[in-house]
Amino acid sequence: MRRKKSLLIPAVLAFSLCTGAVVPVLAEETSQTADAADNEQETHTQSATDTSDSPYEKGTITDTDFQSEWLNLKFTPPETVVMNTEEELQSVMKQGQTTLEEASGVELGEDALSGTVYEMMASSISGFPNVSLVVEDASLENMTVDQYFLAAQQMLYATGMGYTYSDVTDIQIAGQDFHVMETSVAVNDYEILQKYCTRKQGGKFVSIILSYTTDTTAEADEILAAFTPLNTDTELRLQNKLWSILP
């Protein structure tokens, strides 16, 4: 049985930067997932997979927004949400690696985050909700979003935090189709709800991870709505491309 390792990062923002305890979780693909990715075809609609030919380019963060030409996304934070800096993103990644090592007992090398880019992160002034956008190299060319979620669940289980999961659903964000895995976990007597909104683009997994509580659901919805197309002409071209390949 062939085993092919990869680092899957469904960044688990169970805490906010305001409390200094944001926890991203890194997932190592199991051999079962690797074999399934070699043999199983995509079962969801093709619209959630964009085989973009343009080379990947990281987006830009300012005090007021986030923009990415490659993703054709713009994020303008609501009034009560603050954009986190590049330095804070790097700090989160290091904290997350340490947390995972402690939870799983697996020591990760210096290249543990190779192939993974934290595009942006924004947090409510009160801590919840918060959101991050992560782009990660696909370990296998034909690995699907469902298989990505499966590998993520396996590592979340390994943390011993008692995550529960919903069935995968679909959502549109900024005119783009994403698959959604919702999770729930109890942290310090609080129930933390999370949405992993993921799509595949140009051989990479693009994930918007939203963390919130039961009493901040409305604010969480506002955060997702704050993602808009950067270029409406690009959105139209993508739609026309999709229609051209559909029967």
Structure tokens at 133: 């956008």
pLDDT of amino acid 141: 78
pLDDT of amino acid 109: 56
> At a CB cut-off of 8 Å and minimum separation 6, what does 169 contact?
179, 180, 182
User: Closest by alpha carbon to 166, among 186, 182, 148?
Assistant: 182
Q: How far apart are CA 7 and CA 21, in angstroms?
A: 21
pLDDT of amino acid 39: 45
60-61 sheet: strands from edge to edge: 60-61, 66-68, 73-75, 227-229
Q: How far apart are CA 247 and CA 243, in angstroms?
A: 8
Structure tokens at 140: 């296998």
100, amino acid identity: L
- CATH classification of 7-245, choosing from 3.40.50.460, 3.40.1000.10, 3.20.20.70, 3.40.50.800? 3.40.1000.10
Residue 158: burial class (beta carbons within 10 Å; 0-12, 13-18, 19+):
middle
pLDDT of amino acid 159: 75
Residues of the chain with pLDDT under 70: 1-53, 96-97, 99-114, 233-247
pLDDT of amino acid 33: 43
pTM: 0.74
- Residue in the block written with tokens 């919702």: 182
